[in-house]
Structure 1
Amino acid sequence: MTSEQTPGTTYVVVDGENIDATLGASILDGRPAPEQRPRWERLLDFAQRRYAQPTKGLFFLNASNGYLPMSFVQALLAIGYQPIPLSGGPGEKVVDIGIQRTLEAIASRSGDVLLASHDADFLPQVDTLLDGTRRVGLFAFREFVSSQYTPLRERGLEVFDLEDDVKAFNVVLPRVRIISLSDFDPLRYL
């Protein structure tokens, strides 16, 4: 966005299943406890501060089993997300398809996009969004972002680490990753 453009909207599109699965399987080696889950409102807050414009949070849920976790849906609504519970046939990746369609729809409008996912299934849509007229980023655990996104970083794709940049957690996660010496805090390991 150039300085002559007026602020628009930042769409925060959340693939909660992907973030939860990565957190549980790759970082915690088990189901996250409530205190180990992201504080989803911090993604909206980060987007608002980073891009200095209103945010629209879209949180995709798989409701194919006919179950809607109402307490979670109510919490999402209370913090400013629009829950999007999708259902489909057995084995159908309803959340991925819903997000792909949403990113395609955003491409025909103005607005910046922050996608919370590590999944390369969105690569074609993210590539299209990087048209030079908008800011596009990923919210993720940096070390688990699909390497297929690497060439898009040269075209402006930003990657914001959920723990380090967004501060989406109230606890320190047991991650093993490369740490810049300037960011190294030995007290974290003592």
Structure 2
Amino acid sequence: MERRTYVLVDGENIDATLGQSILGRRPHPHERPRWDRVLSFVASEWDQPTQGLFFIAANGEVPMSFVQALTAMDFRPVLLSGTPDQKVVDIAIQRTLEALAEREDDVVLASNDGDFVPQLGALVGTRRTALLAFREMRSSAFVPLVERGLEFYDLEYDVRAFNEELPRIRVVPIEEFDPLQFL
């Protein structure tokens, strides 16, 4: 079988971070990441086929229009349910990362959540691994993994997954400083 990259998306985490920490409100549809750009970016950057898995807690109503849109973008929606005390998306992503340890495929995780550090850490150094997140919002628990070889891509600045510039506060390298962005 051909080597591929699995792109695991913790959509709830990305959406919550975008809404609560960056926008300060629920994101409008046009403000959410363009997930097709994520798959295209990874396929181009890593020069191999990608398989996107988008994990969704579906304890209530299934968001069918979103599921259909994901499918049209070549993502495989993973709809999950469980008891109210279970973080079903986290559990499923952790189990998927553990299952990928038995394969030779590469892995990209889209999440800011440090709950995946043990499972992702077990893969770093054994294959190509990356984290897609918002640099200033990612869990600091990922820093040691980056030092060990985990690649990092910012969803907005590196992947360009958004149609509009987000109102983020960031450290600007002096080479990139444009005073017109602040005037």
User: Is the structural similarity TM-score above 0.5?
Assistant: yes
Q: TM range, normalised to the smaller chain?
A: over 0.9
**Aligned partner (choices 20, 27, 34) of residue 25 of structure 1:** 20
Residues 22-71 of structure 1: CA deviation (Å, up to 9, x unaligned): 00000000001121110011110111011100000000000012x11000
Identity %: 60
Are 1:114 and 1:138, in contact at CA under 8 Å, matched by a contact in 2? yes
Q: What is the rounded CA distance, in whole Å, between the counterparts of 1:48 and 1:187 in structure 2?
A: 34
| Letter in structure 1 aligned against 2:172 | I
**Aligned partner (choices 150, 155, 159) of residue 157 of structure 1:** 150
Q: What is the rounded CA distance, in whole Å, between the counterparts of 2:89 and 2:178 in structure 1?
A: 37
Q: TM-score normalized by structure 2?
A: 0.96
State the Cα distance separating 1:159 from its structure 2 match: 1.2
Q: Which residue of 2 aligns with 1:3?
A: none
State the Cα distance separating 1:114 from its structure 2 match: 0.6
Q: What is the rounded CA distance, in whole Å, between the counterparts of 1:28 and 1:48 in structure 2?
A: 29
Instruction: Point out where structure 1 has 5 or more consecutive residues left out of the alignment.
Output: 1-5
Alignment RMSD: 1.3
Q: What is the rounded CA distance, in whole Å, between the counterparts of 2:22 and 2:51 in structure 1?
A: 28
Q: What is the rounded CA distance, in whole Å, between the counterparts of 1:158 and 1:73 in structure 2?
A: 28
**Aligned partner (choices 63, 83, 88) of residue 89 of structure 1:** 83
Q: What is the rounded CA distance, in whole Å, between the counterparts of 2:154 and 2:113 in structure 1?
A: 15
Are 1:103 and 1:126, in contact at CA under 8 Å, matched by a contact in 2? yes
**Distance change in 2, residues 1:184/1:72 (3 Å):** same
| Letter in structure 1 aligned against 2:127 | R
State the Cα distance separating 1:90 from its structure 2 match: 1.1
